[in-house]
Amino acid sequence: MDQVVPVIVALVLVAIAWKVLKGIVKTAVLVLLLAAAAYFVFGGMA
């Protein structure tokens, strides 16, 4: 259950970034958010 929280937070942040940001900045932020979520879920907490 602990792994679900970072995924939910990442999805919320992605939705906010999608609405607020534009262009290459949006792409960079989305990649960083997803990479951070993957790190916490798969590697960071283990």
Is the CA virtual torsion 24, 25, 31, 35 positive or negative? positive
At 40 the pLDDT is 81
- Higher pLDDT: 17 or 46? It is 17
How many structural domains comprise the chain? 1
Residue 36 structural domain = 4-44
For 10-42, the pLDDT digits (tens) are: 888 888 888 898 899 899 998 998 888 888 878
Q: What gap in Å lies between CA 31 and CA 39, rounded to an integer?
A: 12
Angle 33-35-36 from CA coordinates, rounded to 5°: 65
H/E/C letters for each residue in the chain? CCCHHHHHHHHHHHHHHHHHCCHHHHHHHHHHHHHHHHHHHHHHCC
Asked if pLDDT for residue 2 goes beyond 80, the answer is no
At 5 the pLDDT is 81
At 24 the pLDDT is 92
At 46 the pLDDT is 52
